[in-house]
Amino acid sequence: MNFLSLYILILVLMMMGLFLSKSRKQIQIIMITGASFLLLLSGALTYLYLTERAAGNTAEMLFRADSVWYTPFNIHYSVGVDGISVAMLMLSSIIVFTGVLVSWKIDPMPKEFFLWFCLLAIGVFGFFISIDLFTMFMYYEVALIPMYLLIGVWGTGKKEYSAMKLTLMLMGGSALLLVGILGIYFTTGGSTMNILELSKLKVPLEMQRYFFPLTFMGFGVLGALFPFHTWSPDGHSSAPTAVSMLHAGVLMKLGGYGCFRVAMFLMPEAAHEMAWIFLILTGISVVYGAFGAIHQTDLKYINAYSSVSHCGLVLFALLMMNQTATTGAILQMVSHGLITALFFALIGMIYGRTHTRDIRLMGGLMKVIPFLGVSYVIAGMASLGLPGLSGFVAEMTVFVGSFQYADTFHRILTIGACASIVITTVYILRVVGKVIFGPMQDKHHETLTDAVMYERIPVIVLTAAIFGIGMFPGWISSMIGDSVLPLISQFIR
Amino acid sequence: MAEKIIFYILGAIIAIFSIMAVTSKQIIRSATYLLFVLIATAGLYLLLGYNYLFAVQIAVYAGGVMVLFIFAISFTNRPGEKVHGEVPVRKLIAGTTAAAGVVFCGYIIYRNIRKVTVLVQQYNLSPQKLGETLMGTEKYQYLLPFELISILLLACIVGAVMIARKR
Amino acid sequence: MQYTLLILALPLLSFAVLGLVDAKWKPKVAGTIGTTILGIITILSYFAAWQYFTQYKVDGVYQKVIAFDYEWLRFNDLLHINLGILLDPISVMMMIVITTVSFMVNLYSLGYMKGEKGFQRYYAFLSLFAFSMLGLVMATNIFQMYIFWELVGVSSYLLIGFYYTRPAAVAAAKKAFIVTRFADLFFLIGILLLSYFTKTFDFGILTSSNANVFAEATSKTFMGFSMLSWAMALIFIGGAGKSAMFPLHIWLPDAMEGPTPVSALIHAATMVVAGVFLVARLFPVYVVFTPEVLHGIAYVGAFTALFSAIIACVQTDIKRVLAFSTISQIGFMMVGLGVSGYGGHEGVGYMSSMFHLFTHAFFKSLLFLGAGSVIHAVHSNEMKDMGGLRKYMPITNWTFLIACLAIAGIPPFSGFFSKDEILSASYSFSPAMGGIMTFIAGLTAFYMFRLYYNIFWGKEFKPATQSENYHGHGNTPHESPFSMSSALVFLGAVTCVAGLIPFGHFITSDGVPYDIHINLTVASVSIIVALVGIIIATYLYRKENEIPEKLAKTFDGFYKAASHRFYIDEVYLFSTKKIIFNNIARPIAWFDRHVIDGTMNGIASSTQWVAVKIKGFQSGQIQQYAYVFLLGTLLVAALVIFLI
Amino acid sequence: MGDILTNFFTGTVPIEAYLGLSLIMFFCGVYGFLTRKNMLMILISVELMLNAADINFAVFNRYLYPGQLEGFYFSLFTIAIAACETAVAIAIIINIYRNLKSVEVDNLNQMKE
Amino acid sequence: MDYSSFLQMHEEFSLLGVMIILLLYDIFASEKYLKYFQPIAIVLFLVHIVLNCVPRETFQVSGGMYEYLPIHSYIKTFLNIGTLIVFLQAHKFLNEDANRIKRGEFYFLTLSTLLGMYFMISAGNFLVFYLGLETASVPMAALVAFDKYNNKAAEAGAKYILLAVFASSISLFGISLIYGSTGTLYFNDLPALITGTPLQILAFVFFAVGLFFKISLVPFHLWAADVYEGAQTNITSYLSVISKGSAVFVLFTLLVKVFASLITEWQPILWILAVLSITIANLFAIRQKNLKRFLAFSSISQAGYILLAIISGSAIGMSSLVYYVLVYIFSNLAAFGVISVIEERTGKINIQDYDGLYQTNPNLSFVMMLSLFSLAGIPPFAGFFSKFFVFSAAASQGFYVLVFIALLNTIISLYYYLLIIKAMFLNKSDHPIEPIKSDFFARVSFAVCTLAIIAIGFISPIYDQIHLISFGM
């Protein structure tokens, strides 16, 4: 039993436990125990990874395990992690942990909710530990489908429409993706599905020209690439809190991660050739998402558009294809994951109290629910890239990296992307000023109660993580940067 | 020469009565025309020297199948009820398509079939050979399909009885 | 000098502690902790300054000392953000200014903010600000500066929006943050551009005047200017935003919605001069490699100074007057830098600018604190609610007067010395510049005394009753408590003597000490102009009379324009609300809903449409089925035979 | 003219003639299937189609591949199959008649779209 | 005259034995023993399955008229398992008073069609093949009309028999032309003689449409929806799963064994048909209200996906096809099982009747959901693996565009599958289907299907084994 497979094992055990559970109490115990184990596992993994690296292990992936699954297609159950995956796993377990707490009192049908939630988590964790194309794709799809029911049953607003739209669009993405994956597999001779080995083989350039855009867009749909982002606002706003958190926090990162790990890593030549198209698209994403957020009045919509903008920045930075920008992109994934999860958690809690998410109907909440108010301001500040919080570290790395090109095209795009931080400021401050500060809008809100224990823990955990990365970015940045280097060297060959 | 003339006669019967069978307004006439066609076909088999086939054609088709038809027609044909005529448009479309099919298939077949002008004469299909091939298990021997069709017949009888019986 | 790390660490600690415990501690405890810590670091920084100026002069040149350095974030092999402490004359000077004013404001706030809800929070924010501002001035590299630059921005945001239930305060905070952040964008781009060409963020390398470092940046041009010029201009825009240079000044007057001590600290003495400090920090680059940008800075500074001085003349909110005055004075500082050369006498502009920054910090915070004291007493910001307060508040009156004299440039108060140097530098740059600056100096004297008279003289005091924001209790105003007045007195004393500091001995453009010579011609002209200004003000406002109104009527258009701050706010409002919000954000939201979403929904509904359209195929008719079957067969056959 | 006439009447029947005949028969069946209203008539048309194929088998066997009896047997079995099909079909049609009191094919349209 | 070689046809003889035993038992057993009829039938059939599931060596019977390949054991076993599940699900239906008298016929007819499929699968000659085809379809028509006093069933029966006969006569005409242009009907001899003349292509097309009809590919599919709707649900499931499963296998065998030299012709044909089938069936499926019709269209589109395996014409295609059929059997039968249970108890068959099903019948909804997800190809259920392999098969031969179109269609298919999920899980209903307690046999079938849907994908030896053997063909 490989160390990494424990992730899946724990989740499967959780699902089994849930299946047998009888009461809400039992469900809660199972979930929190499991989620804590995941968190501990990620912590241990990070520690072990760093010690292993410090001990001089320079293998591309650590903690490898490999066993044949389907011989005819060379499908292996193959796992391994590098710094990027470690960071993403850490992020995922934090968000799963907090997500569990946020949905502590989920109603109705807690058992089913958590079953689907665990399945979603399996997809997420599985994706990050896999280094086999097939299992990656499988986990990717595993992560997509529970969304439908999670949103459809436990969501709010026009949930059925949103759930359907989200599922179908993401399915569309995976359709593009599968063609790409099959293309990669067969044009390299159909000898291996392992991405490490595939990277040493060469997809013929003329085939890359077809499969790169397919793969990139396939993952890009999940990464909210313009113009395939429209599932995100509706989906996020309709989803139940924990699902929004997991989805915006982790699932969208699958997109960026996949773009990098699969599309760009395996087809570097085409990536070079076509980067400009996608740079434009992602550049649009960044600015467009930010402008889109300005005009919204629903808290979740604002955050969803902001996610479009920030995830656009991830893809944007990846396409810059140098070490700094790529490191920044991964940092941005982690950072945005934490921030947006915090946002959604807070929005969920606020919504649970005020029963509205319309910013025009709220105001002055700082006075009655200061804990949530302060946390919201912190989340906002992190989102607009305040130094000392994770967003700044990520964005600056991205910008510095993106600026390493001397030509006007990249410059202008980078400047455009930089401009998004101003727009971000505008909409964040607009919300903060309207909802958290300002005079009370609704008399009923004066009797609201502040967060209770099980709500505070996730907020504190997420805030601590945001501060942690923001204050001491060195270790995670170098962990990611070191792992990015071998991948990047693929582009430079 | 006689052969050819007989063929022309049979051919004419087949062609004309085929068309009449599918255009006649009255069902009983249709059935009768079909009978003529089947008998003429049997004649063709005879002409080709397949006497046994001729016998089976007469017995099974003209005998068995036609009886079924006549029975069914008399069962379902309520006197005095007028059969609805066909829709002209449908006739036109079907006719055009069928004609196109004839032309198309005829063209392909005519262009590609191996032409034989001299037929091997004195063709004699002895009953012995027939028996051997029917009961044999070697190549070009047909015991297996023979057994198989017995199962098919059994199944069809069971099925038909099940459907047709009152309960 | 590693102990200087404490100067940074202590306020941060204070912020963290006060922020986390928030309302759990009594206000008094929080206030005491905050003030004490500021006191400690003030002492530490004085000690550091003494140590620096006495021990770190090598060959007559003050050295740059890296007291502490830590690699915080590595971007790549060349570029990395370090966090560290750089001690050089200007940073040490700034350190003193910041800690002193901060300490005074902390002290003052003990009285001023007494009983406010969120007192603890207020002190936490003050500590955060002190930390950020100190970090900014002690930055070893430009990126660290940017980091703390942002942090002071957010402290400013939080402090302006301290009264978060008041929409005006929230709006002002938002405006301040957005405008400065907008400017910061250019700063960031400037940094990126600069670092791309120089491969470093480090001030040590950037300010070494080493031409090799900038070789690439100066050789590449874009639209007629070298890349370095672009970078430095962009960086200056960042500074202009923070320092409220025209046209990015609009946030500062609004920022007066914050508590008055905050205005004194942030929006008068420290944060707003960050832009000046930034230019000063990169002065060697500007002066050696991009003099055209430096000249631009001078013009921007001069225009801003004139512009805001005119506006200041007609404002009625006393804090607004002070705000515009601040903008104007910062304009002076910018001019000082802009007209300066490098080294020796050439560099007198630089020195004078820093000197002015130094003195201005004290007298302007004194003014603000005095204004705060007044507001505390009358519960209003408006001049019309004041008048004749000299009887009720003697200490405030006297300290305020000292500050007014200082800013007006009357010797021997500190303002005279620094302003005089700027003027002489301007004259040596060009007579026109000198003339304008002198005129502005006169205007300054005029509006300051207009302010002074309106508060302390003029009509007799009537208790305010209908004031909107403060529900005045109608009591007669009285002198402020000890904590406040002690701060006033201390700052007043500093204002009196600060001008006598031989500033050139400590801070010059090249680090070599320099003796200040007072140019008598310039000095006498400026004194005369200042006196004229004061006299006019005295004539107009000392006693309540009709002349100001008449004047206002005479120059109706101009007066209105000036009191509406020349409609710049409206222009901004128009361009943000009408153009950006209505013409970009709204269309994008529309586009997203209708075009992109519409496409996606359109795909779905057209699929449905096709599905409805083809339902006739499945007619239930056997013969139709057979027909399709046959046609399919024939077509497939024909297709393969004839086409393939 | 005489030659043609002689040729027309002498010698063996060309294979194309048989094939043409079966083709006409087949498509007559198709036409009938597509147009007739009565289900029994449709069934009659199907008989024509099957019969046409039978002729083909016999003719090919006799003319082209006389060595073995493949076509012959195929015809033979097909006749039996046709009988089976007809039997079941007629049973079903009678069942329809019992249910709907009609054997018109256009009445079979309860289920569509 | 050596008949001993016939004895090698274990599967057929064993099935024939079951049929005859059941027929005799049905005829001669007294009323007292007849109530054990169904359990006995199921046990006998189970024994038949167990006896015949192990592949043997390749052999020929009757000079190549019947040719056994090891893979046949697998496909036959899969079809057997499917049939067994159908029997389990039909148990309740056949125990009803109206149908009790006909259950002997039900079993006999079902098994005879199965026997026909056996012969289709193992045929080595067009004659045996054609006979098998007819044996598989003519009794099937009787089965479709099984519920004979139901107008819909009668209509379905008529539609099926008429169109089946029409298709089979076209097919027969095609076979005659094949014979005419090659001179033989033995599969082993044909490849050398098929050279790709237009006549052969025409013959091939005429012949193949008969199979396309059975697989119900667009545009030869129009009967499917009506027949599926009209026939009794268990028979529909048999028709849509077993009959179709055997036909696709046969199509593949014929294409690669007999018509291998026409590959340049049949690949484009299949390409077009696959695209048409998937797309048009999906478009129709979107707006169906009746679940059986809905599944009819869904199964048409599934057939389109199977074509992706066939079109590759490679060993990978073969194994992924067999695997697909296996998975498809379980997935579709689970769905049909749920429908039949509900229809049996409540007579409700429309999608909107399923509103709020999860609240009242969580287990049935769960089974339904699994089957639909599996049909839609969602991991970790078996359908995902089978779809992936099928796509791989097509992609391995460079049919990327086809794969792409098929994949885009999975979005539509996911949409309509989700509509049912939505009805069951999301929608609320004022009159939900009351809680149903399904009978033991149906529950066994659900358990088997559920287990299979969840587990098959993860147990790679199943696929590996199929693949191992399909290389031998």
Tally of domains within chain B:
3
* C476 pLDDT above the threshold of 80: no
Chain D residue closest in CA terms to C620? D112
Predicted pLDDT at C472: 44
What distance in Å separates residue B97's CA from the closest CA in chain D? 8
Chain E CB contacts of B112 below 8 Å = 181, 197-200
Predicted pLDDT at D29: 93
* E472 pLDDT above the threshold of 70: no
Higher pLDDT, E106 or C247: E106
Inter-chain residue contact C592 with A437, CB threshold 8 Å: no
- What tens digit of pLDDT does each residue of E21-34 get? 999 998 888 888 88
The band of A345, judged by pLDDT with boundaries at 50, 70 and 90, is very high
Higher pLDDT, C25 or E351: E351
Chain A contact for E441 (CB, 8 A cutoff):
no
Predicted pLDDT at C466: 46
Domains and CATH numbers, chain D: 2-107 (1.10.287.3510)
The band of E388, judged by pLDDT with boundaries at 50, 70 and 90, is very high
* C644 pLDDT above the threshold of 80: no
The predicted model gives A99-123 an average pLDDT of: 89
* A493 pLDDT above the threshold of 60: no
- What tens digit of pLDDT does each residue of E289-332 get? 899 999 999 999 999 999 999 998 888 889 999 999 999 999 99
Predicted pLDDT at C470: 47
- What tens digit of pLDDT does each residue of A38-83 get? 999 999 999 999 998 888 888 888 888 888 888 888 899 989 988 8
* A363 pLDDT above the threshold of 80: yes
* E368 pLDDT above the threshold of 90: yes
Calculate the dihedral angle through the C-alpha atoms of E23, E28, E33, E37, rounding to the nearest 10 degrees.
10
* E97 pLDDT above the threshold of 50: yes
Q: Any long-range contacts for B10-16 (C-beta under 8 Å, 24+ apart)? A: B10/B40, B10/B43, B10/B44, B10/B47, B11/D17, B11/D21, B13/B37, B13/B40, B14/B40, B14/B41, B14/B44, B14/D21, B14/D24, B14/D25, B15/D21, B15/D24, B15/D25
Chain E contact for B143 (CB, 8 A cutoff):
yes
Give the length of chain C.
644
The partner residue sitting opposite D34, judged by closest CB among C615, C618, C627, is C627
Yes or no: say if A490 and A268 are a contact pair by the CB < 8 Å rule.
yes
When scoring C619, C630, C633, C635 by the number of chain B Cβ atoms within 10 A, the one with the most, hence best to mutate, is C630
> Given the DSSP bridges, would you call strands E59-61 and A75-81 parallel, antiparallel or unpaired?
unpaired
Please state, for a pLDDT cut of 90, what percent of chain E lies above it.
Answer: 61
Domain boundary among the residues B85, B114, B145 is at B85
Chain A CB contacts of C71 below 8 Å = 474
Please state, for a pLDDT cut of 90, what percent of chain A lies above it.
Answer: 23
The band of B84, judged by pLDDT with boundaries at 50, 70 and 90, is low
Cα–Cα distance for residue pair B142/B147, rounded to 1 Å: 9
Lowest mean pLDDT among A213-222, B148-157, C464-473, E363-372: C464-473
- What tens digit of pLDDT does each residue of C377-387 get? 787 778 777 77
* D104 pLDDT above the threshold of 60: yes
Q: Look at residue C123 and give its three-state secondary structure.
A: helix
Higher pLDDT, E116 or C60: E116
What is the SS3 string spanning A99-157?
HHHHCCCCCCCHHHHHHHHHHHHHHHHHHHHECEHHHHHHHHHHHHCHHHHHHHHHCCC
Domain that holds residue A337: 3-491
* A206 pLDDT above the threshold of 50: yes
DSSP E strands in C102-147: the ranges are: none
- In degrees and rounded to multiples of 5, residue C233 shows phi and psi of -65, -45
Verify that B67 and B132 share a domain, yes or no. no
Tokens coding C349: 């502009």
Q: Measure CA A363 to chain center.
A: 30
The predicted model gives A175-198 an average pLDDT of: 89
Yes or no: say if C272 and C108 are a contact pair by the CB < 8 Å rule.
no
The predicted model gives E49-73 an average pLDDT of: 89
Chain E contact for D34 (CB, 8 A cutoff):
no
Q: Identify the residue whose tokens are 């004469």.
A: B121
CA atoms within 13 A on the CB side of A434: 17
* C469 pLDDT above the threshold of 70: no
* B152 pLDDT above the threshold of 90: yes
* C475 pLDDT above the threshold of 60: no
Chain D contact for C622 (CB, 8 A cutoff):
yes
- The set of chains that have 3 or more CB pairs under 8 A with D is B, C, E
- What tens digit of pLDDT does each residue of A115-154 get? 999 999 999 999 999 989 999 999 998 888 888 889 988 8
- What tens digit of pLDDT does each residue of C169-204 get? 888 888 888 888 888 899 998 988 888 888 888 888
Predicted pLDDT at E113: 94
Verify that B160 and B130 share a domain, yes or no. yes
Domain that holds residue B5: 1-85
The partner residue sitting opposite E226, judged by closest CB among D29, D64, D111, is D111
Closest listed residue to residue C633, CA positions, set D47, D27, E268, E207 = E207
- What tens digit of pLDDT does each residue of C101-112 get? 888 888 888 888
Q: Which residues pair with C582 in a beta bridge?
A: none
* C465 pLDDT above the threshold of 60: no
Predicted pLDDT at B117: 59
Chain A CB contacts of E426 below 8 Å = 149, 152-153, 159-160
Give the length of chain A.
493
Verify that B140 and B115 share a domain, yes or no. no
What distance in Å separates residue C630's CA from the closest CA in chain B? 9
* A409 pLDDT above the threshold of 90: no
What distance in Å separates residue D10's CA from the closest CA in chain C? 36
What distance in Å separates residue C534's CA from the closest CA in chain A? 42
Predicted pLDDT at D1: 56
- What tens digit of pLDDT does each residue of A217-267 get? 999 888 888 888 888 888 888 888 888 888 888 888 888 899 888 888 888
Chain A CB contacts of C81 below 8 Å = 396
- What tens digit of pLDDT does each residue of E232-268 get? 999 999 999 999 999 999 999 999 989 989 998 899 9
Average per-residue pLDDT for chain E: 90
What distance in Å separates residue E183's CA from the closest CA in chain D? 6
- What tens digit of pLDDT does each residue of E128-162 get? 999 999 999 999 999 999 888 888 899 999 999 99
Q: The pTM is what?
A: 0.90
Verify that B80 and B5 share a domain, yes or no. yes
The band of C461, judged by pLDDT with boundaries at 50, 70 and 90, is low
DSSP assignments along C234-294, one per residue? HHHHHHHHHTT-TTSTTHHHHGGGS-HHHHHIIIIISGGGHHHHHHHHTHHHHHHH-HHHH
The predicted model gives C506-515 an average pLDDT of: 77
Q: Which residues pair with C87 in a beta bridge?
A: C65
Chain C contact for D80 (CB, 8 A cutoff):
no
Please state, for a pLDDT cut of 90, what percent of chain C lies above it.
Answer: 2
Cα–Cα distance for residue pair C442/C436, rounded to 1 Å: 10
Predicted pLDDT at B121: 64
Tally of domains within chain E:
1
Tally of domains within chain A:
1
DSSP E strands in C113-266: the ranges are: 221-222, 225-226
The band of B79, judged by pLDDT with boundaries at 50, 70 and 90, is low
Chain C contact for D105 (CB, 8 A cutoff):
yes
